[in-house]
């Protein structure tokens, strides 16, 4: 299964980010392309420890089951319009797509040196590095597919 910790996968994700333009429109959901990129940047902030969050109560109850379903196989994906934490919802009108894309690509590159063996996700709970790498790829892929790239 693809993982953000694989150099070829990181290259693929960065190339897809580069194909986003101000004219890119969502195939589903309400975010603009720039809001989506900012959302993904905030998620990377979280994975690198720049945003701290407590576990959600619902996540404590069903988080492990949800991550198992998402990571079941290569074809399993995040659901369209899946809920997210308020910290990752973008309401502002972000106007600097290229700057946001650069931030996202920089974070994707930094996964080459990511050295945590586990990560406690706000919803899914404790993830191994392998699970985290697979989830980060699937999350990025979900949003890139949302905008047709």
Question: Structural domain of residue 50, as residue ranges?
Answer: 7-146
Tokens encoding 132: 């985290």
Specify the pLDDT at position 91: 85
Q: Are 149 and 85 in contact (CB under 8 A)?
A: no
Domain contains 134: yes
Specify the pLDDT at position 86: 82
Specify the pLDDT at position 81: 85
Count: domains in the chain: 1
Residue whose token pair is 């993830």: 127
Q: What are phi and psi of 36, to 5 degrees?
A: -65, -45
Domain contains 2: no
Domain contains 42: yes
Domain contains 1: no
What Rg, from alpha-carbon coordinates, does the chain have?
A: 15
Domain contains 45: yes
Q: Give me the average pLDDT of each 10-residue run along the chain (149 residues).
A: 98 99 96 96 96 93 96 92 86 90 98 96 97 98 98
Q: What is the DSSP letter of 122?
A: T
Specify the pLDDT at position 121: 96
Closest to 32 in 3D by CA, of 93, 84, 76, 81 = 93
Quote the pTM value. Answer: 0.94
Tokens encoding 52: 């701290």
């Amino acid at each position: 299964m693809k993982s953000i910790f694989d150099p070829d996968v990181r290259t693929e994700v960065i190339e897809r980010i580069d194909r986003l333009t101000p004219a890119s429109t969502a195939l589903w959901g309400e975010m603009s392309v720039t809001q989506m990129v900012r959302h993904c940047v905030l998620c990377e902030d979280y994975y690198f420890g720049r945003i701290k969050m407590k576990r959600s109560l619902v996540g404590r109850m069903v988080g492990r089951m949800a991550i198992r379903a998402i990571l079941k196989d290569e074809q399993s994906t995040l659901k369209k319009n899946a809920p997210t934490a308020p910290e990752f919802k973008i309401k502002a009108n972000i106007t600097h797509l290229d700057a946001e894309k650069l931030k996202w690509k920089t974070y994707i590159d930094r996964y080459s040196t990511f050295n945590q063996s586990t990560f406690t996700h706000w919803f899914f709970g404790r993830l191994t590095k392998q699970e985290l790498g697979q989830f980060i790829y699937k999350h990025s892929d979900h949003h890139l597919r949302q905008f047709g790239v």
